[in-house]
Chain A
Amino acid sequence: MESVLPPGIKREHFAALLADLKKVVGREFVFTDPQWELPAYNDAYLTTPAELHQPSAAVAPANVEELQRVLEVARHYKAPLWTISTGKNFAYGGPAPRKAGYIVLDLKRMNRILEVNEKHGYAVVEPGVSYMDLYRHLQKIGSKLWVDCAAPGWGGVLPNMTEHGVGYTPYGDHVTMQCGMEVMLADGTLVQTGMGALPGSQTNHLYKYGLGPSVDGLFTQSNFGVVTKIGMWLMPEPPGYRPYMITFEKESDLHAITEVLRPLKVNMLIPAVAMTVEMLWEAAVQVTRRDYYTGKGPIPESVRKKMRSDLKIGAWNFYGALYGPPPMMDNTWEVVRDAFASIPGAKFYFDEDRAKDDVAWQYRKKLGAGIPNMTEYNVMNWIPNGAHIDFSPISPVTGADATKQYELIRDRCNKAGFDYCGEFAVGWRDMHHIFCLTFDRNDVKQKARANKLFGELVDAAAAAGYGEYRTHVDFMDRIAGTYNWNDSALLRMHEKVKDVVDPSGILSPGKMGIWPKSMRKGKA
């Protein structure tokens, strides 16, 4: 791939810019080689040409002091930076920038675990700390605190939170569990939010809101600053943990499952993020499509039936867990079991009922106890050269909405020649519907179809009143455009904030549809 320049920057200025960056972080941590270094900042799961997201360089500061000076250089040359941390945001763009020519601001060297507070149950981490890193550290120090991790455990604790990611324990809503934030503004100012604004604060990571407007949310899914440190509440190891799985025979059971689930969640009888997983997701982590079907188009029901039988899974598979002292778990289980038993054909499983080599069960069991792993990544083995982008609309927790969303996606997906592979993650009052649109990344036509389908889903979901919680870089503008109530008042407010906090427009231009003034409308 040929080298590219940052938008609006001439080659001679770019050379000077790179020289200045090297003075800040050292030659070793400025990456410019388009053949050997910059591919690490591509998104292998793109459905659009890679050239559209080809970075001009990457720079990796080691600490906030270097970061401050990197921003100074970027402001001087008006060079757009694209912030990444661990760079594992696959399905949503990975490490790739929104536009070609951006310089990737790679924070993975800022990877210190600054504090683990056993007494109050929190950790303070920098952007480059992965779930695996934190888990390993907790194990090493003999901590009794759990990590709540994303399914692929190589993801970053901080960036997953800032991208509004979720996990699988009762602490699964990561934004809710974040407390205390340090952020660097585009002008290099370092800000402590909440209680951290008080010098010598004793409660920076204990009380979220401080005094006055709470601004932490402004720096999530945002380009208003660079988050350099956060506190995350960690769950103390409970006296008991008993994960369970309930399988359901019919595709149409989704309605009843969701109706049964809502009161159990709202009343906190199911404390963790509850997962209702469609059968192909379960299958894809352990077998390949070719093991069962070599035809084109969606897998026929006769084959699906055999897969369910072989793998001992249902059309839908519900995962939950009991936490607490055994008598409490016993009582809660009676309520949960009786509620789901009202659905004909429901089958109940605990750990002792599932095989030791049951891949799907084993990794879900770990996730519910905050033990990171990468097993879910095996979904990419489903088809040759597997890749995916995730379409993730939010739904109310009702049977009607779940079914409507499922059918909305399934029908369009099948028509486009893809398998539906998805799951519903139920949080406090909402349901994240994650549709894993899997395609062959070496098949140009298939990628084009996936891209077209994704666009259709955005429009169809918006027309039905459903918005996505997160998205791939290629669809940020399109989805931001659906959040257009009152003549796009929210986007216009975001733009006003952007113009004030980043007047040079150097931080992640276009992130979630927010462009700096210089690149807005027609210039993007």
Chain B
Amino acid sequence: MSITLSSRRTFLQATVSGGAVLPLLTSLGMATNAVAGGLVEAEGSLCLFEADAAMGADMAAGVRQIGLAYQTVTLDDAAGWSAMLDALTSARGRSLAVLGRSATVFAVRSMLEPTWRVVLEGRHSRQADSGMRHELSGLDAPMNQLSGWLNRVRDPAQYAVVLASMTRGEFSADAERKTLDLNSHAWPGSDLVSLLAWPKGVV
């Protein structure tokens, strides 16, 4: 699949129409008919990401194009932090995909629990061989489903779209937690951390 950052919508449409992954996306809660029509259901999720060059892409343009609701996160000013808190307040009941540098994601996570439940955390780091190492920890089921995407997305923005699409799942609260260590091709940008959080009640 050859998808550029500027055609993320095409990426998802192509992915969905690929057939084999259609059940997967459906199980992740993505509104496939909306995707086919060019829109991911914006009501179900919110993407929070650090507005920083380290993300390696114009995240805002990318997620906006696919129709995801998003909020940038910054540690550097009170207005930005307050905007993030406001976004969280209005996002009650929605799933969250969070991407950013380690400190930022940790700080955001500290504001989520226990209203949200962090079902998955990923640490994505560049390796000396210019590949990418992904250390995932969390619930078994979403992790297994997500792991298949790591080599298919090209950058953090595409990964954010996939993560944000996982708005719900048939996962029980007492599901097993595990860790997974995977490699993929390199993503642009530097090391980052990601979270998938579901609102209380989903699990």
Given A371-B77, A379-B103, A385-B102; 10 other pairs, CB 8 A cutoff: A36-B114, A132-B81, A135-B78, A152-B107, A153-B78, A154-B111, A288-B191, A362-B76, A381-B101, A381-B102
**Contact sample, A vs B, 26 pairs, CB 8 Å cutoff:** A35-B173, A35-B174, A36-B114, A37-B114, A38-B114, A40-B114, A87-B110, A88-B110, A135-B78, A136-B78, A153-B81, A154-B107, A362-B76, A366-B77, A371-B78, A373-B76, A373-B78, A374-B107, A378-B75, A378-B101, A380-B106, A381-B101, A381-B102, A384-B123, A386-B102, A386-B103
Measured CB to CB, the nearest residue on chain A to B78 is A372
Q: Does B4 sit at the interface, judged by CB under 8 A?
A: no
- Name the prevailing secondary structure of the A interface residues: mixed
Would you list which residues of chain A between 365 and 396 have a CB under 8 Å from chain B?
366, 371-375, 377-381, 384-386
Q: Given the interface contacts A132-B78, A359-B76, A363-B76, does A384 sit within 8 Å of B114 by beta carbon?
A: no
A-B contact count (CB 8 A): 81
DSSP class of B's interface residues: helix, strand, loop or mixed? mixed
| List of A residues within 8 angstroms of B101 by Cβ | 378, 381
Choose one: A132, A359, A371, A377; the contact of B103 (CB below 8 Å).
A377
Q: Tell whether A165 is near chain B: CB-to-CB under 8 Å.
A: no
Given the contacts A40-B114, A373-B76, A384 and B103 also touching, CB distance less than 8 Å: no
Contact among B77, B103, B111 for A381, CB-based, below 8 A: B103
Query: Which residues of A are in contact with B by a Cβ distance under 8 Å?
Result: 31, 33, 35-40, 44, 87-88, 132, 135-136, 152-154, 288, 359, 362-363, 366, 371-375, 377-381, 384-386
Q: Contacts of B123 on A, CB cut-off 8 Å?
A: 384-385
Whether the pair A374, B106 counts as a contact (CB closer than 8 A) is: no
Residue of B nearest to A387 (CB): B106
Contact indicator B75/A373 (Cβ below 8 Å): yes
Residues of B within 8 A of A153 (CB): 78, 81
- Inter-chain contacts of B104 with A (CB < 8 A): 377-378
**Chain B nearest CB, measured from A131 CB (Å):** 8
Find chain B residues with CB under 8 A from A31 CB: 114
- B102 near A380 (CB under 8 angstroms)? yes
0/1 per residue, B87-119, Cβ < 8 Å to A?
000000000000001111011001101100100
Question: Which single member of A40, A88, A362, A374 contacts B113 (CB below 8 Å)?
Answer: A40
The chain A residue sitting closest to B102, CB to CB, is A381
Any chain A CB within 8 A of the CB of B45?
no
Interface string of B176-203 (1 = CB under 8 A from A): 0100000000000011000000001001
Closest 8 pairs (CB-CB, A-B): A40-B113, A374-B75, A380-B103, A37-B114, A40-B114, A36-B117, A377-B103, A381-B103
Contacts A373-B77, A378-B75, A381-B101; A136 near B82 (Cβ below 8 A): yes
Contact B110 A378 (CB under 8 A): no
Chain B residues in 8 Å Cβ range of A374: 75-76, 81, 107
Which residues of the partner chain A approach B190 to less than 8 Å between Cβ atoms?
288
Instruction: Tell me whether B165 is interfacial, beta carbon within 8 Å.
Output: no
* Residue in A36, A362, A373 with the greatest tally of chain B CB atoms within 10 Å: A36
Please measure, in the bound complex, the distance between the C-alpha atom of A386 and the C-alpha atom of B123, giving whole angstroms. 12
For A386, the chain B residues whose CB sits under 8 A away are: 102-103
Q: Tell me whether B81 and A373 are in contact (CB under 8 A).
A: yes
Q: Which of B26-82 contact A (CB under 8 A)?
A: 75-78, 81-82
Residues of B within 8 A of A (CB): 75-78, 81-82, 85, 101-104, 106-107, 110-111, 113-114, 117, 123, 125, 173-174, 177, 190-191, 200, 203
Chain A contacts of B77 at CB under 8 A? 366, 371, 373
Report how far A373 CA is from B123 CA in the complex, Å.
25
Bound CA span A363–B78, Å: 11
In contact, A36 and B173 (Cβ under 8 angstroms): yes
CA gap between A364 and B144 in the complex, in Å = 44
Q: If A35-B174, A378-B101 touch, does A384 touch B125 (CB 8 Å cutoff)?
A: yes
Query: In the docked arrangement, what's the CA distance between A136 and B81, Å?
Result: 11
Taken together as a complex, chains A and B put the C-alpha atoms of A153 and B113 apart, in Å, by 19
User: What residue in chain B is nearest A379 (Cβ atoms)?
Assistant: B103
Provide the bound-state CA to CA distance between A362 and B74, in Å. Answer: 14
The answer for the CA separation of A38 and B113 in the assembled complex, in Å, is 9
Which of A38, A87, A362, A384: most chain B CB closer than 10 A? A384
Residues of A within 8 A of B75 (CB): 373-375, 377-378
Contacts of B107 in A (CB 8 A): 152, 154, 374, 377
Chain A residues contacting B85 (CB-CB under 8 Å) are 132
Please give, as numbers and ranges, the residues of chain A lying within 8 Å of B113 by CB-CB distance.
37, 39-40
Closest chain-A Cβ to B198's Cβ sits at a distance in Å of: 10
**Residue contact B76 to A375, C-beta cutoff 8 Å:** yes
Chain B: minimal CB distance from A462 (Å) = 32
Residues from chain B with Cβ under 8 Å of A39 in the complex: 113-114
Q: Write the chain A residue with the least CB distance to B73.
A: A374
Chain B residues closer than 8 Å to A136, beta-carbon distance: 78, 82
* CB neighbours of A37 from chain B (8 A): 113-114
